[in-house]
Structure 1
Amino acid sequence: MNRKDRLYALMERLRDGELHTAEAMAQDLGVSVRTIYRDMEVLAASGVPVEGARGYGYTARAAVTLPPLNLTDAELDALHIALAALGASDLEEHAAAARSLAAKIEAVLPEEAGQPAAPFGFATDAFAGAARGFAHMPTIRAAIRARQKLRVVLAGQPHDIRPLLLDYWGRVWTCVCWDERDGAFSRFALDRIEGLAPLPGLFVDEPGKRLSDWQTLGKPSQG
């Protein structure tokens, strides 16, 4: 497992809000405890709300929820695209505008004592390429609304899926789906998509394959 996939796997584990020791995570992922310590530092620097310490364990508090704003889905997507893509660009004027917009958003976020501020919308290190997945968001969003099956290529392998949810957590956009090939729920980061195409077939809710069934399971596999 490469570093980026390992970080995604750690994020999935921390989502449950439980306390996880570095020793247990290291054993499950086949790496050293020191590697887990470094990974926790990377996740925290990337904006994932990691809490804990060496020798104690790690968890992730609930992601910050913005107060109600009059934004459409398209406007929300554009906001993330602007901050992620322009904030780290070489075009200083656009980068400055993205930082200014991020500061305005941070000004209305809840404040928690003792927690360092994490710039909204900016990813660092292993997640810096997350903006690549934005191009697929309109197709996936439309398919969720229309209940249309998609064929997605991940790591060179095609998967016919029923897209169920677009989720943003820890500075990464992911898609929750029912994988027809594997016969199981899966979650994958949008920047891992190598190919994406709508399929002619639509799907209807079936017991065991619905979003509510995934939410009941609580711990879906990561694609």
Structure 2
Amino acid sequence: MVKILRTIAFDADDTLWHNERFFHLTQQRFADLLADYVPRDHLDAHLLEAEKRNIGHYGFGVKGFTLSMIETAIEVTDGHVPASVISELLHAGREMLDHPMELLPHARDAVEAVAQSHHVLLITKGDLLHQERKLAQSGLGDLFDGVEIVSDKQPATYARIFARTPGGPEAAMMIGNSMKSDVIPPITVGAWGVHVPHDLAWDLEHADPPEAARFRELPDLSGLPDLVAALG
């Protein structure tokens, strides 16, 4: 077994920069627009079900979220949702796409530190154009040896990506805020998985921590350089 850690991979949304809070703000706006039709908890449940149905059609990201809001609005109003509300939802989606990117604390320092000694990747899922725009705004692009924008994060995704990296999966580490997408699948294929929790999380990304020797958790990215150094 390869013991030397050679590749460090980062998730993007809510690991390196803020993302979920814009979804939460827009979902509150959605609830306000439909307050005369349906209670907030009922609306949230319908929206979550629409998102589950639509991931396979629209993928992850703002565009799929916007279409799911529109579908939900039509559903909970029995087709009577005003055109003005649909227009507001489309506008809210465009605002999310245009919102300035904001790095999370310690993100730049952590990437810069490990980039001095390791092969560094960005592995993120979502809309291609939106993710490319956020990466460009982040100022971190030059620090990565490779960028992978994928449709989903399954074990096969990580197996394919890490097969092309120095040392393969056993010499790789994935860092992210989602236990379901960023931690468990990499561990499944033999890599390290490091969970850095964010205070907001999408319901569809929840999963229990794995009982695995290659699982680690950090309160924030400030501890990553020391962890990487300790593991080799």
Structure 2 length as normaliser, TM-score?
A: 0.28
Which structure has the greater CA radius of gyration? Answer: 2
Tell which has more relative contact order, 1 or 2 (C-alpha 8 A, sep 6+): 2
* Higher share in strand: 1
* Higher share in helix: 2
Structure 1 length as normaliser, TM-score?
A: 0.28
